[in-house]
A and B are shown apart, each in its own frame.
Chain A
Amino acid sequence: MMLESTEQMHEATQRTRLRRAVGRLPVHVWGYAALLALALLFPLVAQRSGYLQTLGILMLLTAYQGCAWNILGGFTGQFSFGHAAFFGIGAYTSTVLFIKLGLTPWLGMIGGGLLAAAVGAFFGYLTFRYQVRGHYFALAMFAFAEMIRFTVQNLPALNKSVGFLVPLVPGATHLFQFENRLTYYYVILAMVVLIVAVSSLVRYGRWGYFWAALRDDEAAAEMAGVDTLRYKVVAMALSAFFMATAGTFYAQYVYVITPGDTLGITKSLEGLFRAVIGGLGHPIGPILGALVLTPLGEFARSLLPNSEGVDLILFGVLLILFVRFMPSGVYGLVQSAYRKLRRDTTHVA
């Protein structure tokens, strides 16, 4: 390329530098920024539509569940088919503490999280102790969650199958109750930002490297001196903590909790679907998963309005297809598209 003056040359290098700087930023930084902008613009669009607001809240809630599941399933490769147990523990703990002791669900949420973390650590310790293989853990968690559900359904102290109604105190912000639906949206958005921040920090910090090591080759990680049992238990506790806080949000949002709803297998699958289809092991993978699945599910339901569960059929099919053809998920698709774009721009420069 011929350049006429030094000034033009200077300008050209400046442009190239800028392009390179843009290109050098890891894809997830752009992803974070774009997603956050999208999330903050959404209320403007949804201002007058209760339906869109509900959709946004549920999308963020399932994204949050996916992020919580991802901490264990994605970062350490231990697939839990029973995270509903922790979701339910969160929903029940905050609600029971509120009804029986009048404790605000804001604190109940922390309490439920800590209880779930303790239960998760105990059960994780039980199952991880013998380095049981991945599918054994999935099976054990499945049975564990179902047994907690059966137990709650038979416990008179927890109202058996009926569950609880969260007592309404309209507009009591200090009791985690909001009159405006958009407030719920901002609360769950803040929770999602928090979980993405926390999981990014741990994923790219010391724990994250231990987790990646034990996920990719457990024996080699052991040899290198990683206490794999300890770090798996830590991941389980952290994952359970966040899943339980999702349960509290759910209880405060719908005001009704039943064992079938909060502890059922469907709740275990909600997070798993988002994380696996969105992209396992990346802090924002589950958010991409929720962004794709929630509108698709709504679309499927609008096509066949009288058949409940048609969205789940679609998710099941997508799970099978993604595992087979796109194991790195939506995140992988975005990443390879971005890489291609970057290659093209560097060629031009």
Chain B
Amino acid sequence: MDARAELVLQAIVAGLMLGGVYGLIALGLNLIYGVMDVINFAHGASMMIAMYMTFWLWKLFSIDPYVAIFVVVPAMFVFGYFVQRVLLESLIGTAPSNQFLTTLGLATVLQYSAQMLWTANFRAVQTAYTSLTLRLGPVSMPAARLTALGFSIVLAAILFVLLKRTPLGRAIQAAAQDLRGAAVCGINIRHIYAVTFGFGLAAVGAAGAIVLPFFWVAPTVGDTFNVPAFLVVVLGGLGSMPGAIVGGLIIGLVTSVGSALLPGSVNMVAQFATFIGILLFKPSGLLGRRFL
């Protein structure tokens, strides 16, 4: 195999690994949007908080990031539950802009609070597997990224099973399909909304914990993930759960293969063109707006 083909193959594998994480982030975004019609502009900032949690658990208590998931995910769920109950619930039924303005305000508060508490410095964790690489034929795979992909698949599967097969999941689906009908059937909408927001932040929190072994954390890291996440949901279809996965993998591939083949500036322009192209030709996204 020649060097160029090897490079592309390598980029495809890297893209899939990145795409898995993007997919997980976008799943949380689309879950919240699909059920409540709210775009969570505090999504990236929430991920940043989860990353700091993971970082401090490692720094102060030497807890491995993959173990920290079991602390971070429930914590983010609780955080999301209360964000919905305290900040967003009373805005239901008022102008639609009120809810996303509130999430924007929350994002600002989270980001600059992090900066105030932990400075703007970039931090990273050092683990035994940070620089570990696995080789499969011509392709080398950083172990941490591979693990991240594995976790993304497992967590996405859990979320899908939860939504499809459990009574709670069916209640969430019902709320997404027909709010009034669901309420008439005795579903406690306020609770379901808060649980949904909790799941959304739990998903992005998990993403934050699993990327930390190969990424850095700073108060601005949320912005780094916000843009790809928004691209993913626009591409896959706003509010579509399968669309989040498909969009995540595509954007991961485009980013990775693009940066392998094209120089930096052109790669950015390519992403930009993709975005404009979606808006021009397929504004409803690849999989439309169906929730599940």
Contacts and interface: CB of A to CB of B under 8 A. Distances in A.
The winner among B96, B106, B223, B227 for most chain A CB atoms within 10 A is B227
Interface in B265-292: 265, 267-269, 271-272, 275-276, 279-280, 283-284
A144 B276 CA distance: 9
A308 interface: yes
Given A127-B279, A132-B283, A154-B265, A309 B116 contact: yes
Contacts of B238: 136
A143 interface: yes
A147 interface: yes
A139 interface: yes
A146 B280 contact: no
B95 A327 contact: yes
Given A134-B97, A151-B272, A156-B265, A81 B104 contact: yes
A139 B39 CA distance: 8
Interface string A32-70: 000000000000000000000000000000000000000
A155 B263 CA distance: 10
A248 B150 CA distance: 49
B276 A126 contact: yes
Interface stretch (A89-97, A191-199, A204-212, A314-322): A314-322
B230 A316 contact: no
A245 B60 CA distance: 49
Contacts of A138: 39, 41, 100
A276 interface: yes
Interface residues of B, number: 48
B268 A151 contact: yes
A343 interface: no
B41 A81 contact: yes
A269 interface: yes
Interface stretch (B2-10, B46-54, B107-115, B154-162): B107-115
Contact of A143 (B37, B96, B230, B284): B230
Interface of B is mostly: helix
Given A135-B39, A154-B264, A313 B226 contact: no
A135 B100 contact: yes
A147 B97 contact: no
B265 A135 contact: no
Nearest to A146: B227
Interface stretch (B86-94, B133-141, B175-183): B86-94
A60 B227 CA distance: 31
Interface in A278-304: 304
Interface in B211-239: 223, 226-227, 230-231, 233-234, 238
Contacts of A20: none
A133 B96 contact: yes
B280 A320 contact: no
Given A134-B96, A265-B223, A315 B268 contact: no
A150 interface: yes
Contacts of A127: 279, 283
26 contacts: A81-B41, A81-B104, A126-B280, A136-B238, A138-B39, A138-B41, A138-B100, A139-B234, A140-B279, A143-B227, A146-B227, A150-B268, A155-B265, A156-B265, A304-B116, A308-B116, A309-B111, A309-B116, A313-B108, A313-B109, A313-B113, A316-B107, A319-B101, A319-B104, A320-B87, A323-B102
